Amino acid sequence: MPFHVLVQPPTMVMDPVNQTILVNSTLLLSCYAVGYGTIAYQWEERHRGVLEETGSHLVIEDIEGHSAGEYTCLASNEGGITESQSAFVGVLKPG
């Protein structure tokens, strides 16, 4: 008799953290998930939607003021998708 393995969505073990950085700096957000099989990552920004970055690290160089916002990491495998806690990013202009 064949059996079916129920694959669970990944478990997020490291969420991105809130940051405040200076304009023209480099933003680095990270997340990490564990689970069965290959885990794929995707990043979202609340007002802009899905970003091009598809790894567990999001890097935005020469950040500008309009990049301030709420960022979320999505981790997926055969079992589904898990969303990280959101990280809030503030961008300060010097002076």
* Alpha carbon distance 13, 48 (integer Å): 25
Q: How far is CA 89 from the centre of its chain?
A: 12
pLDDT at residue 19, rounded to an integer:
97
Contacts of 87 by beta carbon, 8 Å cutoff, 6+ apart: 15, 16, 17, 18, 19, 29, 70, 71, 72
What is the rounded average pLDDT of the residues 3-30?
94
pTM recorded for the entire structure = 0.90
What is the rounded average pLDDT of the residues 14-36?
97
What confidence tens digit (pLDDT) does each residue in 50-95 have? 988 899 999 999 999 999 999 999 999 999 999 999 999 999 998 7
Domains defined for the chain, CATH in brackets:
11-92 (2.60.40.10)
The H or E element that residue 80 is part of is: strand 80-83
